Structure 1
Amino acid sequence: MIVITAPTGDIGRQVVQHLLMSSAPIRVIVRDPSHLAEDVRNSVEVLKGSHGDPGVVNQAFSGADAVFWLVPPDPKAVSVKAAYVDFTRPAAAILKEQDIKRVVSITALGRGSPVADKAGFVTGSLAMDDLIASTGVPFRALAMPSFMDNIVRQAIAIRNQGKFFLPIAGDLKLPSVATRDIATVAARWLLDDSWTGQSEVPVLGPEDISFNDMAGIISDVLGKVVTYQQISFEAYKARFVQFGMSEAMAQGMTDMARAKGQGLDLAVSRTPENSTPTTFRQWCEDTLKVAVLG
């Protein structure tokens, strides 16, 4: 039995689809089962609730072999620590009690970087990994740079203004990964019952690319001029507060962006093993083009 958390999110949804092509039994934890596709609801065991709830995770982990762990967004959390570490504490305690044979989590790049302890969401994510690892469970932390898919959040600005905005220098080349490739890697680790021990697994995408480079590719794909505009960290944070994010979480997003601008995601060397296939251009053709143009 494989337990999937956050099965309706960008990554979890795609992990479930991969696993449905195998013969593995699947159990999902979901707050609102109606958000699952009908074919998924009919093919998996559904447990309603939050995977931050001790009773829910105790029931979900019973008889399970593997767990896919992904902390859901909590824009109103009182702190980054509460959103990542405190949310994970009930599951970590139960991992010690249940005979879970492997855990695969989604986390962030940055371990070993000199700015990792001041990197907002990344700092919280790495602390979450440490908590899971402390249980002694066989563990693979899939460490990610920024997601290509995050650009979709700016689809309206790209369509109406011909711009997208972030506080990072436009010419800094950084790794970027498509969520579909993350899901493929996660499913492979979940289905492989041969591994033990604990380690971090970087998932870097196929290339380092700057936001100026992205703007050029987006322009080619959409057939219209799109430019990248660097904004201040203050404006970046204010936008999250304006959309209802708590002060602490808005600051966490800002600290993460600042750390990425200081090279947080460049601490791991690229290899064929940690690179994934989907290029930014291919992702734009498949995903962004539809989001912007309909």
Structure 2
Amino acid sequence: MIVITSPTGRIGRSLLPLLLDEAPARGERLRVVVRDPARLPAGVRDRVEVVVGSHREPDVVDEAFAGADAVFWLVPPDPRTADLDAAYAGFTLAAAGAFARQGVGHVVGVSALGRGTPFARHAGHVTASLAMDDLIAGTGVAYRALANPTFMDNLLPQAARIRDEGVYANVVRADVAAPLVAVRDIAAVAARLLLDRSWSGAGEVPVLGPEDLSAREMAAVMTEVLGRPVRYERQSEADLRAMLGGAGAGAAIVEGFVAMLRAKEAGLDAGVERTPETASPTSFRTWCEEVLKPAVRA
């Protein structure tokens, strides 16, 4: 039995089809934890067990993890949280107890790059994610934290501005090169680990994408793929705060993003070597052709 939390989020939506394709042939049943089952595609609802509720709640995770061999763990965003540690490790406390009570053998979690760098202690959401990893690892379950850099898919909310103004924005300097990863590649690594549980102990699995790119280089790729000029606009931290606050994010979330992006500019994501094992396959150009271009044209 494999349990998937947050199955309707970006990563969960990519992970579920992979598991539905492979799990039955391996004799694996699938169970999902979801607040609103109606958000699951009809074809998925018919092929998985559904536990309704929030995976923050003790009774929900006890029901969901009963008889489970492996769990995919992802903390959903909480834009109004007053505290990042509460949003990550606090959200995970009930599950950490349930892993032990229910005898869960393996857990794969979504986390972030940065452990071991001098920037990780003051990196907002990343710092909170790493503390969550420590909590899960401390339960004694076999754990793999997917250590991710910035998601390519984070550009999708800017698709309309890219189309209408030829601009995308962030606060990081235009010349800072860093790894980028496609959500679908994160899902593929998660599926592999969930289906082949020959691993033990606790550790990280970096998912780095095939290359490092700067914001300026990303703009050049988008220009070529979209066939129209796209430029990068470096926004101020004040502008970022205003944008996130205007979208409904509370102060803790806003300041967590500001701190994370400062740390990324300083080199937070540069602490892991890219190897054949850590390099995921989807290039930024491929992602732009297959994901961004249709979104811009929609």
TM-score interval (norm. to shorter): over 0.9
Amino acid in the other structure paired with 2:250: S
Q: Which residue of 1 aligns with 2:154?
A: 150
CA-CA distance at 1:261 after TM superposition: 0.5
5+ residue gaps, structure 2:
none
Give, in whole Å, the separation in 2 of the partners of 1:84 and 1:238: 24
CA-CA distance at 1:88 after TM superposition: 0.4
5+ residue gaps, structure 1:
none
Between the two proteins, the alignment pairs up a number of residues equal to 294
Deviations 1:222-259 (A, max 9, x none): 11100001111121122101111001111001111111
Q: Which residue of 1 aligns with 2:42?
A: 38
- Normalised to the residue count of structure 2, the TM-score between the two structures is 0.98
CA-CA distance at 1:193 after TM superposition: 2.3
Amino acid in the other structure paired with 2:198: S
Q: Which residue of 1 aligns with 2:201?
A: 197
Q: 1:64 aligns with which of 52, 63, 68?
A: 68
Structure 1 residue 49 corresponds to structure 2 residue 53: yes
Q: 2:29 aligns with which of 16, 25, 29?
A: 25
Q: Secondary structure at the match of 1:76?
A: coil
Q: 2:236 aligns with which of 232, 235, 248?
A: 232
Q: Secondary structure at the match of 2:68?
A: coil
Q: Which residue of 2 aligns with 1:261?
A: 265
Q: Secondary structure at the match of 1:155?
A: helix
Q: Which residue of 2 aligns with 1:14?
A: 14
Q: Secondary structure at the match of 2:168?
A: strand
RMSD (Å) for aligned C-alpha atoms: 0.7
Amino acid in the other structure paired with 2:227: G
Give, in whole Å, the separation in 2 of the partners of 1:270 and 1:194: 23
Give the share of equivalent positions with the same residue, in percent. 53
What aligned pairs does 1:171-210 form with structure 2 within 5 A after superposition? Answer: 171-210=175-214
Q: Secondary structure at the match of 2:33?
A: strand
Give, in whole Å, the separation in 2 of the partners of 1:145 and 1:193: 24
Query: Which is worse superposed, 180-189 or 90-99?
Result: 90-99
Amino acid in the other structure paired with 1:108: A
CA-CA distance at 1:191 after TM superposition: 0.3
Give, in whole Å, the separation in 1 of the partners of 2:129 and 2:49: 28
Give, in whole Å, the separation in 2 of the partners of 1:30 and 1:74: 15
Deviations 1:149-196 (A, max 9, x none): 001111111011110000001111100000001000000000012111
Give, in whole Å, the separation in 2 of the partners of 1:115 and 1:32: 38
Q: Secondary structure at the match of 1:21?
A: helix
Give, in whole Å, the separation in 2 of the partners of 1:162 and 1:176: 21
